[in-house]
Structure 1
Amino acid sequence: MGGSTFTKASADGEPTLYTPRMTPKVYAQLKSTCIERLQEVLPDHQICALIEAPEKKDYGDLDIIIAHDGPVNTMELARHVGARGLIKHSTGENQSFSLAVPQDMVRSVEDRDPVIYKHRHKTDTSITEAHPPAPLSTKVCAQIDVHIVNTADYDWHIFYSSYGDLNILLGHIVRQHGFSLTDKGLFLRLPEYDAAKELDAERTTPHLNIEDTLGKLFLSNDPVQVMDFLGLDPNRYYDGFTTVRDFFDWLSASRLVGRETAGGHSDQPSTKTRAKPRFVKRPLFTSFLDDHLPKKFQHISTTNGTNSKEEVTCQTCKQPTQPPPIIPSSIPTRPVLHREAVASFARTSAYTDLHTKLIHTIANQEADHFLKPIIAKYSNVTDRKKVGEILRAMQRWVGVGECCGKMSVSEEPHGIGASQLGRLVDGTCGDVVLRDEVGVEAWVKEHWDEVKGLERQRVKREREGKELKEG
């Protein structure tokens, strides 16, 4: 199978474009000519092809990265390259699209616009026995996937997306230690964020909704800085790898790779740290985790005499002795790695700010969860929208003592994001509970209607002021 994008796409009255796999010779010529033609349209822009995994015998498609701040004219680029077909995947700032270009790179005499193809949805019923799929084109084409990225993201995107499954493998490695790797860079996952996600996944009635932006701290999108932190040799990476073994040896030298990395599983219970099912089917991914790493650590254990499968007996009494101790992991713990990362990437202040916001948000959402049934009980309201209205009023108008946890009606409202209701809960002993359930119930019973009225007056004044300004 070659590039599969166009085999799943169609255009009215047009054939299905044939994009089989390419030989290394065809691929190399296609890459050279394609970049040359794109450079003619965008002479002052960085353009390159992603580095493929080593030892590939053929290629399904060609991935091109273009550094450009803002949208490009996709039709102009496609026409100049000589594309027969065009599929637009995303528009806006970070565009991506696929081109079907003749493998011989011969442009048509007419220099016509390429045909725009669209993906057939899985539920598309237009292809039936009465309306069979369009026949394959006689012209042999190649699939070229073009990605437009911001200039500032160009180097990272190339690093992240090159060598086939590098991003998947590296993402799996760092995930086990509280980091995330995305097309935007390396992120630190706050432990409270992971704990909240894990806790909510175990609940029969989940009630936490923590945005990723509150739980993940951006560290860097500088490839060299990230490789240095992970204990990977940047020079060896940029020199390139001629064999898969070379690539695996480089990757397994990371200071975050240990026995627990092998096999695609983690000793940690969180699903956030385990390999995602769709990755397990990828040959490079499974080969590294299920073959290369186990052999590496088996060799280390055998060399150190710590993993012999034969029963060891005492030379004097001939009785079995205790098995050799398991060598503990040499990888620093998650807290240590996080402290190192925050210091290494100069993100101490940003970490403190994000951590404060995250703790505040989690506490507020826990408090909201406890307050809803109490509000419903004493307001005699069962409609969720009406309960929500009273809760929002409390978020704006209720002050809570930081130390005592006592509730009061504030003189002025504050934004919902600045709600003080989170001070009502306590999770220091494990389970999150209301600090003073009896006191909270008594206060809500007495003041819910007052707070609701204050909020309705505020909304009315705000609406009238807006109408006066517009009129």
Structure 2
Amino acid sequence: MGGNAFRGKLSTALFPRMSPHTYQALRARLLPLVQSQFESVAVPREAPEKVDHGDLDFVVTRPRPGTSPSTVQKVLRATHSIPQEGNRTSNYAIPANAFDLGAEWERILFLHSYGDTGMIFGVLARMAGLSLNVHGLKVRLLIPRTTFHLTSSLQDILAFYGLSKSRWNEAFETQRDVFEWVAMSPLFDAQRIVPSDRTHDRGRKARGARSMFQNFLDFAQERAVAASLDGNASPSAKPRITQDDALRFFGKEAERAALLRASAIKEHARAKFSGSFMEKCTGMQGLSVKWLMDAIRERLVEGYVRQRGVTQGQPTDQTTGPFTVSVWELALFEMSKADVASFALQVKAEMEAAGTFEAKWAEENARKAQKQMPK
């Protein structure tokens, strides 16, 4: 079909046919996106020995809540669409550069090569406090408890592992060749991979189906025993690669610092500005506490804007990794618990003097009365 579906909107010259490599990469990238919109998704099998492809077909059913032609177009990053109602074919035109298919396909192919390559590289990553999967290399942070993305580039991943991509491209004749290549990495530490015969043997049966990975563990144990016989079994015999090393290598130290600061700001707000703390320091309860806290947030934003010269209308939230820090939280971060309690009492007194609580209770009572009226 290709560009024929868009003949009335776009030139068919904009739709070159795809090579099998591009087709497979596109299918791997788009399948989970389509699955986010429909409960049942399948790609029909293509004709054997097909030399190129005009499009990529998905057969779908049972749309998830909120799914619509516009949401499908958004997740697919399509610039044009021809939606159809009912059990009919809808078409979406996706720019060739919408997804980095080459890099992603290369990384997925690498991790699935030789059977258990992904598991082997994952073990080395975990020993450095990292995680590696088809989405790339990440730091597994404990404080704050989250993951921090380092890179999706296979070239950069192999550079961090200290392994030659050109040697990988030459291919290996045996599993032993692969293991010897992996052992050249600074992350490889046989004594930490297999700390003892007991722990090594304990999981052998469960790992039986992963023959290459089991063979890798045997290889590591062999290396560990050899090191022990040579008198090099000390834990300090080989410097450990740490999370800090990874952050420096990928130039992510500033981002990590920003993430830690954002986490600290959020934690400070939870500890110093909870409903229970407001009740304790003001003697108030119920909705009055909520109204007071809303007013305090507004005052904090006003004060921060005034003191920092922030222009009204500028974004009031800052997103750092998984954290969104509001302006009131930034202002609160500069206050001690005593400062927060004093400020809360000050705002409470001002609201009482202005009759704010009485007015809000009158609104609340009127709302309840309206709700209880027979329809």
1:236 aligns with 2:138: no
- Distance apart, 1:396 and its partner CA: 4.8
Instruction: Indicate the residue corresponding to 2:316 in structure 1.
Output: 415
1:449–1:186: structure 2 CA closer, same or farther, 3 Å change rule? Answer: farther
Percent same amino acid among aligned pairs? 14
1:293–1:401: structure 2 CA closer, same or farther, 3 Å change rule? Answer: farther
Unaligned stretches of 5+ residues in structure 2: 1-14, 50-56, 63-97, 197-205, 318-324, 361-375
| TM-score, normalisation: structure 2 | 0.54
Unaligned stretches of 5+ residues in structure 1: 1-40, 49-63, 73-86, 107-113, 120-147, 198-211, 266-278, 308-324, 427-434, 458-471
1:294–1:228: structure 2 CA closer, same or farther, 3 Å change rule? Answer: same
CA–CA distance in 2 between the matches of 1:382 and 1:281? 60
- Distance apart, 1:389 and its partner CA: 6.5
Instruction: Indicate the residue corresponding to 2:122 in structure 1.
Output: 171
| Secondary structure of the structure 1 residue equivalent to 2:24 | strand
- Find the partner of 2:285 among 381, 388, 399: 381
| Secondary structure of the structure 2 residue equivalent to 1:65 | helix
Contact 2:292 2:347 in 1 (8 A): no
Instruction: Indicate the residue corresponding to 1:9 in structure 2.
Output: none
CA–CA distance in 2 between the matches of 1:362 and 1:259? 37
CA–CA distance in 2 between the matches of 1:419 and 1:262? 46
Instruction: Indicate the residue corresponding to 1:65 in structure 2.
Output: 24
Contact 1:363 1:422 in 2 (8 A): yes
Instruction: Indicate the residue corresponding to 1:247 in structure 2.
Output: 178
1:45 aligns with 2:19: yes
What is the total number of aligned residue pairs between the two structures? 274
1:330 aligns with 2:239: yes
Query: Matches of residues 24-423 of structure 1 in structure 2 within 5 Å?
Result: 43-47=17-21, 65-67=24-26, 90=35, 97=42, 150-152=100-102, 153-189=104-140, 193-197=141-145, 212=146, 216-219=148-151, 221-259=152-190, 261-263=192-194, 283-284=210-211, 287=214, 290-302=217-229, 304-306=230-232, 327-339=236-248, 341-342=249-250, 347=251, 351-353=253-255, 355-372=257-274, 373-377=276-280, 378=282, 380-382=284-286, 391=293, 394-398=296-300, 415-416=316-317, 417-421=325-329
| TM-score, normalisation: structure 1 | 0.45
Residue identity matched to 2:284: N
- Distance apart, 1:238 and its partner CA: 1.9
- Distance apart, 1:251 and its partner CA: 2.3
1:449–1:287: structure 2 CA closer, same or farther, 3 Å change rule? Answer: farther
CA–CA distance in 2 between the matches of 1:171 and 1:448? 55
1:374–1:217: structure 2 CA closer, same or farther, 3 Å change rule? Answer: same
CA–CA distance in 1 between the matches of 2:118 and 2:112? 6
CA RMSD of aligned residues (A): 5.1
1:247–1:326: structure 2 CA closer, same or farther, 3 Å change rule? Answer: closer
Residue identity matched to 2:342: A
CA–CA distance in 1 between the matches of 2:330 and 2:192? 38
- Distance apart, 1:292 and its partner CA: 2.2
Contact 1:174 1:256 in 2 (8 A): yes
Contact 1:171 1:180 in 2 (8 A): yes
- Distance apart, 1:262 and its partner CA: 0.9
Contact 1:264 1:286 in 2 (8 A): no
| Secondary structure of the structure 1 residue equivalent to 2:138 | strand
